Structure 1
Amino acid sequence: MTLRILLILGALSAFGPLAIDFYLPSFPALAKAFATDVEHVQLSLAVYFAGLAIGQLLYGPLADRFGRRGPLLVGVSLFTLASLACALAPSLEWLIAARFVQALGGCAGMVVSRAVVRDLCDPIASAKAFSQLMLVMGLAPILAPLLGGWLLAVAGWQAIFLCLTLFSALCGLAVALWLPESLPADMPRAPLRGALQRYRQLLGDGVFIGYVLTGGLVMAGMFAYIAGSPFIFIQLYGVPAEHYGWLFGSNAAGFILVGQINARLLRYRRPEYWLRRFVWVYLGCGLLLTGVSALQPAQLWPLLIPLFFGIASLGCILPNASACAMAGHGQHAGSASGLLGSLQFCVAAAAAALVAALHDGTALPMAEVISLCGIAAVGVAWLTARLARRGQPA
């Protein structure tokens, strides 16, 4: 896989985190602009997760039937138009609706990127490629909140969505000019009428579902952190909105670092080996975070330590879970990728909504949701390993 293709796939994979992280510092400003509270603004985040979950189910079969490029260009165009609609939103209801459409467009890049990696790589090479994509897409959580906080201070929250409009338009141009069709010409194109049957087959594959849910549960914990951190950092501990990105970005830097370490660890052991071990790291960090949050420390730094290592561990868990799940599904890589992403973001949307529902003015709801996700991820990883040893097809 060439560097150019990796960069394009990384940018496409970044649509999801970029459209989330970029506007996080603007939550208090959006609440003020629309005369509401931060808890209602958080609905625009939850509905984005829901849009990602629904849209990925649509793009998977389309990518298997029509190839990777066509559906991708349609999705990027939809994301561009919806981002512009967000910038022009006159009300919170308008913004929430536009965010849903934005998610329907943005998830095309996520589905197709995974399918392209599966088209071009074997399972171990796929895990390495996903780890390398972490380096590209991981820049989004570092740079986006910083740039978002700066734009918020200089030009207002509308400028954030105008930048998303420009970014997606440039990505669409890059796809049109430089991303070749990766679906082999001699591979049979899966008919759309068989999409539900393919999804039923995938849902009946216990090993596939196990790897998907292992990655999805830790991703849910991450989005619990994304949903809860603006309130905790900015309002609870008084971090200026324009400085929020520095804290958020430091955690993303750990995520990138562990992703690159994972690519080297794969020289010695297969992806499933490291996956089973790093979920325990994630769980330990979640439990420590919950304990610290229950003490309600007067300063922020005791919370930042377990948060950093917990988010960093995802740099190993997510690429390995994706590679293990996609292995053996080359002919229907689009459908497998779509179902993978949809299930993962359904869990993520539920976690984000749960943080909002449990809001009590402390950091404890976020920490408790992260811990619950860690406990569930360890349990699912253990069960998946047992199913794989019994020889159930992946």
Structure 2
Amino acid sequence: MATVHHWTGLEAKALRLALRLSVRAYAQQLGLAVATVSKWESKLANTAPRPDTQAILDTALGRADAAVHLRFETHLSEMTSPLQNAGLRRVTTAGPRAWEYESWADDLDRAVVALSRQDFVFADSLLGRWLGRFKACELDDKGLYLFARSTAMLGDLRRDQGAVLGPISAQYSYAAARAVFSRLDIPRRVAQLDLSLAVVAEMSGELETAARTYEDLAVDDRLSHRDRARARLWVGTALSKDGRHDYATRVMLAATRDFEDLQEPDDWSVAHQKLALARRGAGDLTQALHFIDIARSSGTTETPMQRVRLDTAHGHILLSDSGTRDDGLLVLDAAARTAAQYGLVHQLRSIEGIKAMSEGPTGPRQR
């Protein structure tokens, strides 16, 4: 719900429009003179109601339903845009107002949930609502922080969609977010973006570069213990993709112990999934099945991405044994359908690659 910390004629007019009242009806509802409301409408941000009138406006907004609040935010946004509809006069603004900061933060929380469910369209609309409204040069530090978080989240969205490189990609968004967090001097966020950029490098095939960055970040004090453990696990992932399966296994086992000590069951399960793929690459199918069984019995499969990743790893291992090949194809086909349904392009490409190369001795490597 919108909150106004200081009313001007601009907010007062936006509320009238949101309530869908005439100037006269609005004045009557508030218990004010028509001339007072007319003054607000003519002077907008250049006039402010008296303190007692501000309290009346607070009450009117507070009693309004959700639809009125949404219309209020929309009208106020349109009225503070660079070009006003009335005569297209240029106006200057001081960036987001207090209620916009709150709404922006709320939308980021909603975008996190949407991304976790792979609802890319809704997440994109929530992020685009703010990234398209403000430019970084218009924002104070609070606005810049929200801008950088939104941009980083857009990178997550692009990465999950498989848009890794290019002008509209995860790499581009991560780099832009990193620049803003560097400007704000928030080292932890900068290091997290370095980790995300290393994931992009790995996904694009730059395995040595990714492994070196992961190794550096695994001992970087800017990151939390959990993020450092993840970096260590991803060192093993890059090594395994590069064919160094035994070394990768040792690194991953160390990361698995870290997750156990940190009491992070989801990461612990993912680590066993990665271990399973590393052992499959080494030709040790007994250990691969052992680790994937642990991952399947302990892992979270609440989201499409989690299900697809786990099923892809399981199907990949089953496909490596002629005795379980048919079962592997069935598991991969189910994973492919889910990936296609939710637009998980990178995962779908991995599945297709695994199936296409299944006649080879080891098959393809995938994250």
Superposition TM-score tier, normalisation by shorter sequence: under 0.3
Name whichever structure is richer in helix by fraction. Answer: 1
> TM-score, normalised on structure 1?
0.23
Q: Which has the higher contact order (CA 8 A, sep 6+)?
A: 1
